[in-house]
Structure 1
């Protein structure tokens, strides 16, 4: 990474604009390059973000690149937020065809212009789009990070926090597989302050015996509470993306659930799905295989099968 952190964002809809704002407020980026095919929307967001800088931690140079995607070639990280959130009103597969069509228009141009940084893709269906970017560009797959279940794992920790009263930062819990309805909780690895849930359940059954299916469904469908009220999700996914960007530009070796290319984990390969990953300057540096139960492994296979089906349906 250079001394100046330069981040590009493709798409300035609800999510892309909030990613830009999160990167500014958290002091993660020194320069932002924003792309969108809607010129008036892009101009509005650039104006609004610039007007906010007097209240932010430090100045950020904000550039408007419209659909001149080659301007992103010298970025350290590119966040792909290009899509149509209205198409996901019922489920995350709703954007499948519109988002894969949009994605045909820019990754090759950016890579051909010399991009060598890290992709963080949050457009849905997240795992399909990450796989598509790889297929289109033949880019180093370790440098294509899908936000995946980073957000869903946060939702799971929030649900468990509500159920127990413990702060969510003290809870270890992962949603795995698809960023979609086939994701699942790795209950066998849930812990509170490092102590496994199974042990706590045996010691304090009145506090730690949950309706696990009900809690998992709350985490799985959490985004649709937001969708029902305001027809989009924006804050949480934007902060998830910003957290991944920070892990890359700061070379943190941060462990989080996120989407990465399966290369044999649990017998799966050739597609993006979420497992705990070590994220640093070179993207996904390591994929961590948890000791899952046989039932959880089967759920992982089923989730990957759904992702694979969508990849085939979209022809990417």
Structure 2
């Protein structure tokens, strides 16, 4: 399987390293605006690959070298200008980069699955879907998968169980109005009733990225892990269920905007979308997230039309 990784910042480099360690590609093309960085990254990763049992052929390339990719992992982002943790602060610059590059990727790899990693991921996913012309099952973002992992980790510590045994999802916006859907959460078939204690854990999970960002200036291991879960499910047709950012088609009245819902991920991309029942408070938060994404789309669209 050919995987093209676009963008080699802190996140892209962590993703590339994880691919090599897990052997999740036969061919890995690294694409960076700084060609010398991509070449050095490829050399370093090939050295690392030589110590693994599986073989991954890593090479540097440009946008045209992504042709015939099975999966495109889009991590390209403009450099952070401050320690501001607002995921929307770089939206205009990141979107302009996407606008310049996605036609080449789509033309060269018309059957590829495109996984958006760059923030604001819900906005970027929506525009990638429009610009690529791909069907919606083949363009989606990592969305709230990492948010879900953070919440499950906190729940597992509180309940003294393994995180993989916790059935709880964070859905909706990857941001302020993310929804911890406790009304459908369970452990061993036993329901988790919404409570103030659970709400506190949800807030801690939502704030954890900001704490890391303010200390390190970035987060990368967690998002790399989330991306690997998606890539492994595609490569091996694992049909794992993960909350990913996708185009919403009339879920509690929300449509034509990208937010996260649990989906079954397989070799064809999104194989099935799940639609959990939400209580009134969760529905309200989901709608607030939808309004925020729709507003961002409306604000950003004219800037793209001006350069088209």
With normalisation by structure 2, the TM-score equals 0.93
CA RMSD of aligned residues (A): 1.6
Structure 2 unmatched runs, 5+: none
Is 2:25 the partner of 1:29?
yes
Is 2:159 the partner of 1:164?
yes
SS of residue paired to 2:111: coil
- Partner of residue 69 from structure 2, selected from 69, 72, 75: 75
Per-residue CA deviation, residues 188-233 of structure 1 (Å, 9 max, x unaligned), is: 01211231113xx9xxxxxxx6523321111112112221221111
Q: Is the 8 A contact 2:165 2:187 kept in 1?
A: yes
Runs of 4+, deviation exceeding 6 Å = none
Query: Aligned-pair distance for 1:173?
Result: 0.9
- How far apart are the structure 2 equivalents of 1:70 and 1:30? 19
- Partner of residue 250 from structure 1, selected from 212, 225, 236: 236
Counterpart residue number, 2:264 = 278
SS of residue paired to 1:139: coil
With 298-307 and 40-49 compared, the bigger mean Cα shift is at 40-49
- Partner of residue 210 from structure 2, selected from 215, 218, 224: 224
Counterpart residue number, 2:51 = 55
- Partner of residue 124 from structure 1, selected from 100, 119, 122: 119
Query: Aligned-pair distance for 1:51?
Result: 1.7
Query: Aligned-pair distance for 1:162?
Result: 2.1
Q: Is the 8 A contact 2:35 2:60 kept in 1?
A: no
Counterpart residue number, 1:266 = 252
Per-residue CA deviation, residues 229-255 of structure 1 (Å, 9 max, x unaligned), is: 211111110111111011112122211
Q: Superposed, which structure 2 residues align to 1:186-205 within 5 Å?
A: 186-198=181-193
Counterpart residue number, 2:2 = 6
Q: Is the 8 A contact 2:247 2:258 kept in 1?
A: yes
Counterpart residue number, 2:275 = 289
- How far apart are the structure 2 equivalents of 1:222 and 1:173? 17
- How far apart are the structure 1 equivalents of 2:171 and 2:79? 23
Per-residue CA deviation, residues 265-302 of structure 1 (Å, 9 max, x unaligned), is: 22111121101111111111211111111221121111
- How far apart are the structure 2 equivalents of 1:63 and 1:42? 8
Query: Aligned-pair distance for 1:85?
Result: 5.6
SS of residue paired to 1:59: coil
Counterpart residue number, 1:46 = 42
- How far apart are the structure 2 equivalents of 1:255 and 1:233? 24
Query: Aligned-pair distance for 1:155?
Result: 0.5
Q: Is the 8 A contact 1:157 1:173 kept in 2?
A: yes
- How far apart are the structure 2 equivalents of 1:16 and 1:216? 27
Counterpart residue number, 1:17 = 13
The count of residues paired between Structure 1 and Structure 2 equals: 301
- Partner of residue 213 from structure 1, selected from 199, 202, 207: 199
Q: Is the 8 A contact 1:73 1:116 kept in 2?
A: no
Q: Is the 8 A contact 1:182 1:302 kept in 2?
A: yes
Is 2:296 the partner of 1:310?
yes
Counterpart residue number, 2:104 = 109
Q: Is the 8 A contact 1:86 1:232 kept in 2?
A: no
- How far apart are the structure 1 equivalents of 2:87 and 2:288? 17
